[in-house]
Amino acid sequence: MQLRQLYITSIRPIITNACPLCFITGDDSSQCHNINQELVCRLDSLQCLCLRAIAGTFKSASGPQIQKELHIEPIAVHLQRLASCHRARNIFTPDFELLDNRYFPKKQTLKFLKSHPYRVLYDRARGLVDAAEEHLRQSNDELRNVPFDDMDPHRRSGFITSHNRSQEELHAEHVWRTHRDGDGKRKHAPNTVCGRPVAAQGEWGKANLKRYKGLSRVQSTILLQCRTGFIGLNRFLRPRTLADTSMCDCGKGEHTVEHLIFDCEQLENARRNLPLRQWKFSRYNTPLSQLRSLDCLLTDHADTVSTWALNHFGLAQFDWTDQNAISGSSLKHPCPLSEGV
């Protein structure tokens, strides 16, 4: 089983077990019942730890960047979807009617009833159901006049789940953009022009998985390290006192992914195997040779660049693969990161 799919199907369900019961995010009136933010942060750290393990990255690699590259939602976003989806489906069951009509003999004020944490959450779930029903009416002419209450329960649950997934994707995209345009600008591993790794840029979406499709696990690992900037080159190792200098052995620049691919004199001959340039036509139909960016190479030519990096970066982590498997059996195994593309 592919490692990414293994995490989604076997490990993450353990983290999210019984989340409709415990993942309570009410308003200010029910704040005392809300889930502790410290616990949510611990769960997020746990997910990032698991993702670093399956991706083969350094333990200090940026969690949001890895989640974006693997297209796995932040755990709080996923918990919110599971909990709200459960309550939205539960509205049509006797359990909800029991909660809705529950009698509180000692505290019967309207303020108390409205502030009950589950009532607040079920009010939100009702809003989700209404939004899903409205979306269905606008997108499906056959079901335009069919009330949700009269619909087949399994079909209705499917529509609610589908709408909730789309909302989860939008929420995850918003979280990523907030990180990318906010704290993500200040917290990164400097290894590229402007000091921002390739993975710290771009948009959220399933398309991020496609660059790993067809790669072996070792290729996908070094590609992810190149994109995040957390890689065993001197520029990354020197601040951690793991290297004597941040300079490349050629002495012409800092030892970074960008330097090795574009500038290192010792790799001048090997660089001929990289698609560094592309031909474009000017406005007068004159062919022009244009240098590709690092982002373009690590995105559109992931297979070629990752193989080249394994052969020429000289990273001890990949010595065995470079000598034994880079052109052999390892390339025949599908990449665990591309599952679900």
Domain boundaries, the chain: 3-187, 206-336
In the block, tokens 């002419």 appear at: 141
pTM to 2 decimal places:
0.82
Contact 24, 124 (CB under 8 A): no
Whole-angstrom CA distances from 138 to 124, 134, 170, 183, 228 are 21, 6, 19, 38, 41
Instruction: Give CB contacts under 8 A, 24+ apart, made by 135-140.
Output: 135/163, 136/163
Report DSSP letters for 238-278, one per residue.
GGGTSSS-SB-TTSSSB--HHHHHHT-GGGTTGGGGS--EE
pLDDT tens per residue across span 83-142: 999 989 988 888 777 766 665 555 555 565 666 777 778 888 889 899 988 888 888 777
Per-residue pLDDT of the chain (341 residues; tens, 9 = 90+): 478 888 999 999 999 998 887 777 755 555 556 777 888 899 999 999 999 999 988 888 999 999 999 999 999 999 999 999 998 998 888 877 776 666 555 555 556 566 677 777 888 888 989 998 888 888 877 777 777 777 888 888 899 999 999 999 999 999 999 999 986 555 554 444 446 899 999 999 999 999 999 898 899 999 999 999 999 999 999 999 999 999 999 999 999 999 999 999 999 999 999 999 887 766 666 667 788 899 999 999 999 999 999 999 998 888 766 555 544 433 333 444 444 44
Q: Tens digits of per-residue pLDDT, 50-67?
A: 999 999 888 889 999 999
CA angle, 26 then 27 then 31, to 5°: 75
Q: Where are the beta strands (DSSP E) in 100-176?
A: none
